[in-house]
Structure 1
Amino acid sequence: MPHTLLVLAHHRSDSLTAQVAGHLQARMEEADGTVDVLDLYAEDFDPRLTPVDEPDWEDREKRYSPEVHAHMDRIAAADDILVVFPVWWFAPPAVVKGWIDRVWNYGFAYGRSKPRLAGKRMLWLGLAGGPDSDYAKTGLDSAMDMQLRAGVSQFCGIVDSSVRLLHGTELSGVPQAQRSARVREVLTAAGEALEERLPR
């Protein structure tokens, strides 16, 4: 069965984003898959790029920081990569961008004639507060797809990749008595996205 790197990007362990990640982890493990949960906040990942992790365009064999190489090893070991994140300002949180900046680095994720990440599958699963009609009307859904699927995954050789947004996930406007039902709807939609894009 596939080994999945599940990347979680939310600062609260009780968030809906974390609930979705936990739900998907359980589903994958029930299907006899193995899951490596990379909780960027819980592991105190530093998203800031410093000179030690800056690409050296003249040396694709550069040794980056031990933290970055540990993350590279976890990516390399995965068959599937699943990133679960809240959509903030129509993009993933800064910690995800910093993870890409530091870890998906020259000589590892790109910069080779044969991409090291080719053959993996990837799903970017974002929890968006607003309705899908708003995103479609402004083109923000297409912009996120281009940025993440084309600009990161496919650029790094992961052809089988997609971006899925779960809309209407802001619960503050949902009456308290209806919130449990809404959470169940979101978890169901997340499970359907998983089965569609990363079938077990």
Structure 2
Amino acid sequence: MKMIETQRSLIEVLDRDSAHFLLNYYQDNQQHLAPWEPIRGSHYLTLEYWQESLTASEQAFSNGSEFKFVALTKNRQEVIGICNFTGVTRGAFQACFLGYSISQRFEGQGLMTEILSAGIDYMFKEVGLHRIMANYMPENKRSAAVLAQLGFEKEGFARDYLMIAGQWRDHVLTAKING
């Protein structure tokens, strides 16, 4: 299954023919997302980049190594946000990392919580994972609130965890357990 429907969104693994959706999302939200993401090269804002990325995303979905979902408006005209489950590890761990973002235009409406809730449910019930880990920078209060509302528990603190906006940034480590 490549689509999840929520009350206000359609969550899909897009194919390369839908690359324009992500190109538009990242172009429109470049300044909004910049404080929370790595510095991207100029290729990041090209149609070719997103076509290649979506081809890889479809393959990863097929082999169960990554689940990169895009939440669209019900009329499939605009991207609301992104919901990525990456680094899927099987065996004794049965876990992944969660990364997400929302369009500035849709902030503050509860949509990210709605989208993540559906994605997490899919990962636990359909994919069979036991643990989903999500990390956020301490000053990102909105992200902290969303994760807390979804039942993620703080498990630690990592200094200089990721290179974000050109600087090594600390992160709060959280996880949600299936069960």
Say whether the fold is shared (TM-score over 0.5): no
**Which is richer in helix?**
1
**TM-score, normalisation: structure 1:** 0.32
Tell me which structure has the larger Cα radius of gyration: 1
TM-score, normalised via structure 2 length: 0.35
